[in-house]
Amino acid sequence: MPTAAKCCAPARFPKRSWRRRLEADELAKWRHAGELARDALQYGRKLIVDGADVLAAVTRIEDYVRRNDGGLAFPVNIATDEEAAHWTPSSRTDRRFAAGELVKLDVGVEIDGYIGDNALTVEIDSSRHDELRAAALKGLEQVIELAAPGVTTGVLGSAVQATIEACGLRPVANLTGHGIKRYDLHSGLSIPSVGGHRGPALRKGDVIAVEPFATNGAGRVGGKRNSNIYHLAALRRVRDSAAAELLERIRSEFHGLPFAERWLHAFSDEPRKPLQRLLRSGAVGFYPVLDELGHGMVAQAEHTLLLTSGGVEVLTA
């Protein structure tokens, strides 16, 4: 699930100290999260077919994760055609996949807060945009090949840009990959898909989600539409008792990670009105749907990487 410049500002809460030398149990949890995220993604791609109900497909993917003793690091993201990122169905969504759609599927899993994040692009019953999918994947492969301790994020961004532009396409400049820490999906480190800035050097022990987006449009995204994906923005007093109770459940259940309105029905008979009150109060925010500003088609590819002394371990491979 990518980061877009200035699109949203999830609350920052104190995290446990981060150690560069991973303990064995930490490494096992990173790997477990990555493997389950990979399996859920591959399970989900089979559900993206002409005529399939979108809400039912997303629910099946999320249930797959839970059945296998994982948690959701964020709601399953479905972005179609010129939508680049940040959309999930609500509990009332009535929509079906259609032939010819270019669908980005982004799945995140957490195991005790350790996160695996990966994505792919499916074109339903068509090969019209194979070059877009191939370009995004080539950009990702370049990062996997180059990333190592001491390599700057700017070097990675330049490599992605050159790779995608060599395919006659554009990277999405204002969507980036991101660092990951325990219970922290976007930890502050950005992995760009364009050059122009040196950026910080990667360090051994860093965990990063790398997700190039390729487009035949303008190469930038924006938007204000509600994606049905929410985040805890601030812990503040809320007068309405139902909203205050919901806020506490959001805090305790999701640990600062993104969540969906449909998840709230597990502990509230009617969460929509309290959720709207929390949005108006600023206690909760939403991620906007990010559309390609030139109305171009968009493809995405993503893996989660662990920086090792010799390069990277692809946790979601």
State yes or no: is 117 an active-site residue. yes
- Active-site pick, 32, 178, 231, 303: 178
- Active-site pick, 35, 101, 117, 206: 117
- Active-site pick, 184, 211, 261, 292: 211
CA dist., res. 69 & res. 71, Å (int): 7
State yes or no: is 302 an active-site residue. yes
State yes or no: is 178 an active-site residue. yes
Across the beta sheet with 71-80, the strand order is 71-80, 102-111, 114-123
CA dist., res. 155 & res. 157, Å (int): 5
- For residue 134 the two structure tokens come to 């191939």
State yes or no: is 62 an active-site residue. no
- Active-site pick, 35, 83, 101, 106: 106
CA dist., res. 317 & res. 41, Å (int): 11
> DSSP for 60-117?
HHHHHHHHTT-EEEEEEEEEETTEEE-----TT---B--TT-EEEEEEEEEETTEEEE
* Structure-token match 């759609």, residue found: 101
State yes or no: is 23 an active-site residue. no
Cβ–Cβ < 8 Å for 283, 238: yes
- Active-site pick, 186, 231, 292, 303: 186
CA dist., res. 144 & res. 157, Å (int): 12
211-220: string of b/e by CB count within 10 Å (b at 16+)?
bbbbbbbebb
State yes or no: is 186 an active-site residue. yes
DSSP-derived 3-state class of residue 315: coil
CA dist., res. 306 & res. 210, Å (int): 11
CA dist., res. 218 & res. 207, Å (int): 30
Q: Hey, which residues are catalytic here?
A: 106, 117, 178, 186, 211, 302
